[in-house]
Amino acid sequence: MKIFRSIKEIKEYLRPLQYGGKSIGFVPTMGYLHQGHLSLLEASVKENDITVLSIFVNPTQFAPTEDLDAYPRDEKRDLELAEKVGADIAFIPDVEEMYTNRLTTVSVAELTSGLCGRSRPTHFDGVTTVVTKLFNIVHPDRAYFGQKDAQQAIVLTKMVADLDMDVELKVCPIIREKDGLAMSSRNVYLNENEREEATTLRKSLVQAKEAFQNGETDSKVLKNLIINNIKKTSGTVDYVEIIDFKTLQEVEKIQGKTLIALAVKFTNARLIDNIILE
């Protein structure tokens, strides 16, 4: 696997390959890879000639009060895991390389104000700006994101459409631990008790989906079911929202494709999860 830390060098390496007709798959991450990330790399390896992984803990998507400095990192292990699943190139820039003298921000309106955007108001501008930069550096044919970050996937899909970007976004399924907890680099922050309690997120979402399948279409009822379950844990509900899949607007009655998304704060980790109702 080739490793690049310089924007100029990775561009110089990739462009002739692209002009020669090679397709590029791209998986942007913040590192500390787990099976969720690897599933995206595997999908890319299958569908493209060349797979590029980026590892960049992007400071602009963290608020000053958040866990930027504590974010887990293990570059050596990441590279071993990525190589094993067939990634060809790792792009690992530092903050200076990405952001010296930057004055430009890419911002998607409306879709970024609710859900995670409510408690993390600067987060999505950080995400859309860094992903735009990464797309301009890598020029991927396809880019792979996880359904785990459902709002992120919807915001980026809108950004790509609005800005006529020549990249196909692929949203891949959530990979979970055996007990249902969505894999996340932040799961290492949970203490033993919280780790056990964290299974409530998935269990509650499944319970709500079952209630929906048994005929319950009132969002309030489903929401309360989830909130009451989470209240039995030491976690604090950041949000539980039942929203239209495309517009991210809250719905009172569930009709078309609908997303239940939630975020729960434990001592040192804020966890998110979601489930689709159709």
Minimum CB distance to ligand AMP smaller for 29 or for 219: 29
Sheet order of strands, 236-244 included: 236-244, 258-265, 270-277
Spatial CA neighbour of 222 closest among 263, 270, 254:
254
CB of 232 to ligand AMP, least distance (A): 24
Minimum CB distance to ligand AMP smaller for 40 or for 260: 40
Phi, psi of 170 (to 5 degrees): -115, 125
**Residue the block writes with tokens 């990405």:** 98
CB of 64 to ligand AMP, least distance (A): 19
Minimum CB distance to ligand AMP smaller for 25 or for 146: 146
> Using CB under 6 A as the criterion, which residues of the chain lie in contact with ligand AMP when the complex forms?
29-30, 36-37, 39-40, 145-146, 148-149, 172, 174-175, 182-185
Spatial CA neighbour of 96 closest among 150, 53, 56:
56
- How many angstroms separate the CA atoms of 200 and 205, rounded? 8
SS3 content of the chain, % helix, strand, coil (to 5): 45, 20, 35
Minimum CB distance to ligand AMP smaller for 36 or for 93: 36
CB of 183 to ligand AMP, least distance (A): 4
CB of 145 to ligand AMP, least distance (A): 4
Residue 123 known to be catalytic: no
* Catalytic (active-site) positions: 37
